[in-house]
Amino acid sequence: MTPKDMMVIDANTEALGIPRASLMENAGHSLAEIISGISKPCKISIYAGNGGNGGDGFVAARYLLNKGFEVNVYLLAHPSQIKSTESRTNWEVLQKINLGLNDLKISVLKDSSDLHITDSDVIIDALLGTGIEGKLREPISSAIDVINNSPAIKVAVDVPSGLDPLTGKVFDKAVKADVTVTFHKIKIGLKDAKKEYVGNIHVCDIGIPNEAEIFTGPGDLLRFNNRKEWSHKGQNGKVLVIGGSKDYSGAPAIAALSSLKSGVDLAILSTPSNVSNIIRSYSPDLIVKNLSEDYIKLKDVDKILEFSKDIGSLVIGCGMGLEDDTGTALNQLLDKIQKPMVIDADALKLIDIDLIRKIRSEVVLTPHANEFKDLFGIMTSNKLEDKIQTVLKASKSCDATILMKGLVDIIASNDRLKLNFTGNPGMTVGGTGDCLAGLVGGLLAQGHEGYEAAFLGAYINGRAGDLAILKYGYNFTTSDLLKFIPDSYK
């Protein structure tokens, strides 16, 4: 588990109704339980930073006092710099109980000159945890030296301060813990770190439900890539939408407009010439490239390959139609294009599934139940648990991400699974699937892997629908839904 994964899960847990304060309380209590299991009541020092790691230490101090420990808390920042509400609350609790009726001493250390080796038997490192960023600053750097030079038993909270929680490497210096107490799941860096830094690792359950990982939620918005200030046109993604036919101009246009709403710089449509002018009339933001007159044909393959050279991702199938020649063209393209792609709508009925296994880039398939049956020859169950297993098995069989659309969207990528509950019955209106395909394609073009692009796209698309229903009731169109995509990122 990465630090970002943990941030996402914390936020999604809160969205499920479990406050962050409860998680911090459980973390601090778990920490105290581990310490009381490795040491009799003794003198203990807690070195706390101004983040959530420090808050865990403040909570642990209360429980350790109740167990008979003599507790010294050293805050290495001004109390006004404590970042989270939960940490601040637990700091204030310590102030209120610090009346001389227990063995608690609190010190605020403003600079490194205030740091000295103590005669504590146990030291808790609650300085940084997963909050490391660049070269260590004072007084944190000196605090790590003091901790390491002490003969006390050293217990790190979540991750030893100074250790990269993602790689397990030490850039500058890090606490050399005898014990590391981490929460929910082991951080990926702890697995790769040297034993001299992490010691014995204890993973503690702090009450985060599995649903906080499996369900999409507002925490997943933290996964979106930040746009670089120095970037210029085209560097934030280009999407090529391949679709449309003489009867369908709206579907590819919606997909392209949706990809623009996802944040890409350019959306290009490759579409039959008899609908290209209609599509151009929808928006001046779209770039439209002409193909054959009525529908996509085999002779268009070389032209589409040329269009795709400088493209970040492709969205294939929206309004494409089911002509035999279109199917032949599509499968030739799949055999030749090695770029991230979303395969949607009519393309799902035309593709050779064996070709999907040969594509070395990210592939996202976006079927509803009937399209899934046509593609894999399997009728899915109405029972969610059985449906999940069917989609997971299909994903493994074709080595692609599957976004199975429905009342609950199922996103599977080999053994990985996400469920999305955003959306509402108003989204049965035509075009919402094209909107979803464009969103996923846009996220692929911006560097998200297929699985992440799929579940983020499902969450944002459904969230936009939920915002649309607040304004329009069930009487909204996909054009209305498009307007709410930017608000869905907030």
Condensed to tens digits (0 to 9), the pLDDT of residues 318-349 reads 999 999 999 999 999 999 998 999 999 999 99
Kindly list the distances between the CA atom of residue 108 and the CA atoms of 79, 81, 111, 115, in Å, as whole numbers in the listed order: 8, 12, 9, 10
The whole-number pLDDT of residue 3 equals: 86
Best CA proximity match to 485, nearest among 459, 449, 448? 459
Kindly list the distances between the CA atom of residue 352 and the CA atoms of 25, 255, 345, 361, 416, in Å, as whole numbers in the listed order: 54, 23, 14, 16, 24
Specify the length of the chain in residues: 490
The answer to whether 237 and 268 have CB atoms below 8 angstroms apart is no
pLDDT of the chain along its 490 residues, tens only? 888 999 999 999 999 999 999 999 999 999 999 999 999 999 999 999 999 999 999 999 999 999 999 999 999 999 999 999 999 999 999 999 998 889 999 999 988 888 998 999 999 999 997 767 678 999 999 999 999 999 999 999 999 999 999 999 998 899 999 999 999 999 999 999 999 999 999 999 999 999 999 999 999 999 997 777 777 777 889 999 999 999 899 999 999 999 999 999 999 999 999 999 999 999 999 999 999 999 999 999 999 999 999 999 999 999 999 999 999 999 999 999 989 999 999 999 999 999 998 888 999 999 999 999 999 999 999 999 999 999 999 999 999 999 999 999 999 999 999 999 999 999 999 999 999 999 999 999 999 999 999 999 999 999 999 999 999 999 999 999 999 999 999 8
| Architecture field, domain 3-214 | 3-Layer(aba) Sandwich (3.40)
224/456 Cα distance (integer angstroms): 9
The whole-number pLDDT of residue 476 equals: 97
**Beta pairing partners, 242:** 270, 316
β-strands 153-157, 104-108 pairing: unpaired
- Domain coordinates in residue numbering, the chain: 3-214, 222-488
The whole-number pLDDT of residue 1 equals: 84
Q: Which residues contact 64 (CB under 8 A, 6 or more apart)?
A: 32, 35, 36, 44, 71
Q: Could you tell me which CATH number the domain at 222-488 has?
A: 3.40.1190.20
Q: Give φ, ψ of 448 to 5 degrees.
A: -75, 140
Could you please report the per-residue DSSP string of 328-344?
A: HHHHHHHHH--S-EEE-
Kindly list the distances between the CA atom of residue 45 and the CA atoms of 20, 60, 161, in Å, as whole numbers in the listed order: 25, 11, 15
296/95 Cα distance (integer angstroms): 72
The whole-number pLDDT of residue 235 equals: 82
Q: What residue type is 425 in one-letter code? A: P
The whole-number pLDDT of residue 132 equals: 73
74: left (phi over 0), alpha (psi -120 to 50) or beta: beta
